[in-house]
Amino acid sequence: MTSLQPADIRRRRAENPKMRERDLARVLGISEAELVGAHCGHGAVRLVPRVADVLAAMPGVGNVMALTRNESAVHEKIGVYENAQLSGSSAIVLGEQIDLRIFPAHWAYAFAVEKRDGGELRRSLQFFDRAGDAVHKVHLRADSNVYAYQNLVDSLAAPDQDPHVAVEPSAQAAMPQAGDESLVDELRARWQAMTDVHQFVSILRALKLSRRQAVRMVGEAFAWQLDEGALTAMMSHAVQQEIPIMCFVGSRGCIQIHSGPIANVKRVGPWINVMDPTFHLHLRLDQVAEVWAVRKPARGGHVTSLEAYDAQGHLIIQFFGKRREGEDERADWRFLMEHLPRLPQASAA
């Protein structure tokens, strides 16, 4: 538990107006949810995190910026929340621009936030998990429907606007590097038998392996480690050859997807950035420990992804060639993936 009281947190926020909330929270030794929650009654409104109601209301808000991030990558899409569907323990948004896979069980805290930036009032919806880490944010734009946004806030405002947020310790631990080598044959057999890439998660659960353990164990027929420069090389070739891609970035409660070409890619310090009209990506290359090309069988062929992992073994970002469900992957993407620089003896077996 933090010893800082909400008034202390607000004072520190006022003393550091230019610092990003995530960075200030780290400096203060608190979660971002605690920082935001401390402003209830002072520019923030605590909401009941009913994901179904949020998704039902969001199309009326119109054009917004959706943001999902993890420690090393920030994924931003500008568009409208459309075609939301809820099923059991998950939800999806299948808009032309905003494409999400949502896991509502991790949406523990929600806030509507208003913040002055010079003469401009910025409005956002911010959602956090039980550890107080952001799982998803929605930022209104100049052409957003503020009336619909306010109706959403009014309908979900919590009866208790307590500025204290009781977070739980984060369960995000380092992933073991080595898997049980006795499972290699079974892993390869199950991998070979896949007919849909979505079956991969079930294989990991059945064998109690992490994603990185599986790609390290399965062998070069299905996964091979790439040189550290392969990620930037892939993005450069995708721009030059106009190869439309799919880019996945996930938090614990949301996966956000871009599908389409990329054009404006720039390197600034440790960051590689995509700054296109409706898609912004910010990726910390210095936090990428391993890059893998991963091939999964699918009905009618196979699908190849580029996957980047951090030093703790967590997936940072994932890229595919753009394809429709059930189609084989693009030939230009497959050629690119198979000719990116590899590390020798990349596989553990």
**For the segment 254-290, what is each residue's pLDDT rounded down to a tens digit?**
999 999 999 999 999 999 999 999 999 999 999 999 9
Q: Return the CA Rg of the chain.
A: 21
Rounded Cα distance, 337 and 334, in Å = 5
Spell out, as residue ranges, where the chain has pLDDT lower than 70. Answer: 1-2, 171-179, 326, 345-349
User: For the chain, first and last CA: distance in Å?
Assistant: 45
Stated length of the chain: 349
Would you call 256 exposed, middle or buried from its count of C-beta atoms within 10 A (0-12, 13-18, 19+)? buried
For the chain, give every residue range classified as CATH 3.40.1570.10.
6-87+106-156, 181-338
Please say whether the beta carbons of 127 and 105 come within 8 A.
no
pLDDT of residue 346: 43
User: From edge to edge, which strands make up the β-sheet containing 44-47?
Assistant: 44-47, 109-117, 120-128, 134-140, 64-69, 73-79, 279-284, 271-275, 265-268
| CA-based nearest residue to 152, from 85, 84, 52 | 52
Please work out, in degrees rounded to the nearest 5, the angle formed at the alpha carbon of residue 68 by the alpha carbons of 100 and 102: 35
pLDDT of residue 182: 87
Please work out, in degrees rounded to the nearest 5, the angle formed at the alpha carbon of residue 170 by the alpha carbons of 165 and 171: 145
Coil, strand or helix: which one is 86?
strand
Q: Encoding tokens for residue 342?
A: 């590899």
pLDDT of residue 348: 41
Q: Encoding tokens for residue 11?
A: 């004072």
User: What is the percent of the chain with per-residue pLDDT over 90, rounded to a whole number?
Assistant: 86
Torsion over CA: 27, 28, 30, 34 (sign): negative
**If phi over 0 gives left and psi between -120 and 50 gives alpha, with beta otherwise, what is residue 29?**
left
* Cα–Cα separations (whole angstroms), residue 111 to 26, 33, 131, 149: 19, 9, 15, 12
Q: Quote the pTM value.
A: 0.93
Rounded Cα distance, 94 and 82, in Å = 6
The correct CATH number of 6-87+106-156 out of 3.40.220.10, 1.10.260.40, 3.40.1570.10, 3.30.930.10 is 3.40.1570.10
For residues 177, 252, 133 and 284, what is the CA-based torsion angle, rounded to 10 degrees? 60
CA 287 to chain centre: 15
pLDDT of residue 337: 97
* Cα–Cα separations (whole angstroms), residue 24 to 10, 29, 217, 283, 319: 11, 9, 40, 20, 31
* Cα–Cα separations (whole angstroms), residue 292 to 6, 171, 211, 307: 44, 25, 11, 5
pLDDT of residue 88: 83
Rounded Cα distance, 186 and 206, in Å = 11
Rounded Cα distance, 113 and 47, in Å = 10
pLDDT of residue 198: 87
CATH topology of domain 181-338: Heme iron utilization protein-like fold (3.40.1570)
